[in-house]
Amino acid sequence: MGKHQSVSIRQISRNRAEQVGYYRFLENENVTVGELVQSLSDHCVLQIEGKHILAISDSSEINLQSHVGRLKAENLGVVGNNTDVGFYIHPTLILDAENGFPLGISTVQLWTRNINHADKHERKYYKLPIEQKESYKWLRSATNTQRCLSAGGAKVVTHIADRESDLYEEFATVPNRDNHVLVRARQDRRLAGQTQSLYTYLNQQPSEGTYAVDVPADSRIGRSAREALLIVRRAMVKIQRPDKLSTLDYSASVTLYAVEAVEVNPPLGQEPIHWRLLTTHQVVCLEQALCVIKWYTWRWRIEQLFATLKTAGLNLEATQLESIAAIQRLTVLALSVAVRILQLIQGRDNPNLPATIAFTDEQQQCLSTLAPTLEGKTQLQQNPYPPFSLAWATWMIARLGGWSGYRSQKPPGITTLSRGLEQFESTFFGWKLALGQLVCTP
């Protein structure tokens, strides 16, 4: 599927026999999700040697309610509203800390919630140890990622997540010499040796300076895209252990660095950006605070990954497979395709990245043959990037997806590039057929 840049079985199959083969593979009980995840990890290991890596984790649901009438009963579960059928995925996307470029997936967790899923009060969720909670996914992801990136020789790993990962258990167990955490604070924690809570103490710190950040649109919360001006504050804090945690298992406190970024004069009707970040990285000046903020803004890459999996790109939730197990296998395979699309997006303006990151030598040869048909007669309609660079290839894939090629137009996004890759795969197949490299069978 990575080769074909698609998760549609009909699209990637050259004939009926191949189509049947793909379906049998996905339905095969001997093909485990663990093996497919390991394949993703193995590829990721090859990309990271000597690098400072950002490991960004998050969860998303695969909603299959529209297919409920034909799905097999085995392994059926519910998603967030406790009504719709589906399952959850929790991947860890690996970025280069130097430039935010996606390098791969280090680990993936998948699970279903029981159809009769009880609420937190019924399960006495608050009193459960972290190992028995769904939130243990954050610690498990960190452990699996550490193992993967250690094998690949990564220099430093920074584990990044949103507010759901604000867990004392994570602060106390994940960090070490080579592993750091960076999360957005969710709760106003008690500080050891201070009368003020975290939020109050941080807000009382002097401003270190200001910083401008591009804020992406988010229709789910009614947020418009804009450039926001943020005031930055910082402080070293000692977080006190929550009373619910055992004194035998966790230290009385953990020392972290806190960074606060608050938007100045947000647009009318828009909630101001207000980030409170906690990290084990040392933050003693504005430059270090801005670096931490920059890394956190790249957390948005995993939201793009989920968008690519779903309706904006691969439309995974429209699959016609009938068993949850097969769809879960397909999901893991689809993640590798989604990462390639993210690489095109991030590399579309970078002439220094080679096309080999996302395209085989044969595919690059095909793109080179296509190039004259995708360029116009004027200078503005010429591909401006060096041949065989990732930006050069992305420009042509975008043209195949319907982009005009004019730099004055909005740059190609997930939908355009996904459509372009589908078109390119068909063209590539015909190109190989014309060269006699394939035999077309019914």
SS (H, E, C) 395-417: HHHHHHCCCCCCCCCCCCCHHHH
**CATH number of the domain located at residue range(s) 183-293 in this protein:** 3.90.350.10
Q: How far apart are CA 183 and CA 386, in angstroms?
A: 39
Is residue 127 over pLDDT 90? no
Note the pLDDT of residue 8: 56
Q: What is the mean pLDDT of residues 161-169?
A: 96
Is residue 328 over pLDDT 70? yes
Q: How far apart are CA 278 and CA 111, in angstroms?
A: 28
What is the tens place of the pLDDT at every residue in 338-367?
999 999 999 999 999 999 988 999 999 999
Q: What is the mean pLDDT of the chain?
A: 88
Confidence of residue 390 (pLDDT cuts 50, 70, 90): very high
Note the pLDDT of residue 119: 65
**CATH number of the domain located at residue range(s) 348-434 in this protein:** 1.10.740.10
Q: How far apart are CA 173 and CA 167, in angstroms?
A: 10
Number of Cβ atoms within 10 Å of the Cβ of 300? 15
Instruction: State the pairing for strand pair 179-184/60-63.
Output: unpaired
Q: What is the mean pLDDT of residues 182-188?
A: 97
Is residue 257 over pLDDT 50? yes
- Which of residues 440 and 220 earns the better pLDDT score? 220
Which range of 9-23, 116-130, 188-202, 208-222 scores highest in mean pLDDT? It is 188-202
What is the tens place of the pLDDT at every residue in 5-55?
455 555 554 555 555 555 566 777 778 999 999 999 999 999 999 999 999
Note the pLDDT of residue 258: 98
SS (H, E, C) the chain: CCCCCCCCHHHHCCCHHHHHHHHHHHHCCCCCHHHHHHHHHHHHHCCCCCCEEEEEECCEEEECHHHCCCCCCCCCCECCCCCCEEEEEEEEEEEECCCCCEEEEEEEEEECECCCCCCHHHHCHHHCCHHHCCCHHHHHHHHHHHHHHHHHCCCEEEEEECHHHCCHHHHHHCCCCCEEEEEECCCCCEECCCCCEHHHHHHCCCCCEEEEEEECCEHHHCECCEEEEEEEEEEEEEEECCCCCCCCCCCCEEEEEEEEEEECCCCCCCCCCEEEEEECCCCCCHHHHHHHHHHHHCCHHHHHHHHHHCCCCCCHHHCCCCCHHHHHHHHHHHHHHHHHHHHHHHHCCCCCCEHHHCCCHHHHHHHHHHHHHHCCCCHHHCCCCCCCEHHHHHHHHHHHCCCCCCCCCCCCCHHHHHHHHHHHHHHHHHHHHHCCCCCCCC
- Which of residues 354 and 322 earns the better pLDDT score? 354
% of the chain beyond a pLDDT of 70? 90
Tell me phi and psi for residue 226, to 5 degrees: -165, 165
**Nearest CA among 309, 436, 433, 323 for reference residue 1:** 309
Q: How far apart are CA 306 and CA 186, in angstroms?
A: 22
Note the pLDDT of residue 5: 47
Give the least confident one: 12-21, 225-234, 308-317.
12-21
- Residue pair 208/232 in contact by the 8 Å Cβ criterion: yes
- Which of residues 422 and 169 earns the better pLDDT score? 169
Q: What is the mean pLDDT of residues 175-184?
A: 96
Q: Give residue limits of the domains in the chain.
A: 1-162+299-335, 183-293, 348-434
Note the pLDDT of residue 430: 84
Confidence of residue 274 (pLDDT cuts 50, 70, 90): very high
Amino acid identity, position 425: E
Note the pLDDT of residue 207: 95
What is the tens place of the pLDDT at every residue in 79-111?
988 889 999 999 999 999 999 999 999 999 999
Confidence of residue 311 (pLDDT cuts 50, 70, 90): confident
Note the pLDDT of residue 25: 62
Query: Cα dihedral angle (296, 297, 298, 304), rounded to 10 degrees?
Result: 130
Q: What is the mean pLDDT of residues 213-227?
A: 82
Q: How far apart are CA 155 and CA 263, in angstroms?
A: 34
**Nearest CA among 135, 88, 140, 141 for reference residue 114:** 88
Note the pLDDT of residue 4: 47
- Residue pair 171/278 in contact by the 8 Å Cβ criterion: yes
Say if residue 396 is exposed, middle or buried (CB neighbours under 10 Å; 0-12, 13-18, 19+): buried
**Nearest CA among 130, 190, 191, 122 for reference residue 165:** 130
Q: What is the mean pLDDT of residues 199-228?
A: 88
Confidence of residue 405 (pLDDT cuts 50, 70, 90): confident
**Nearest CA among 158, 151, 175, 184 for reference residue 97:** 158
Partners of residue 191 on adjacent β-strands: 239
Q: What is the mean pLDDT of residues 165-190?
A: 96
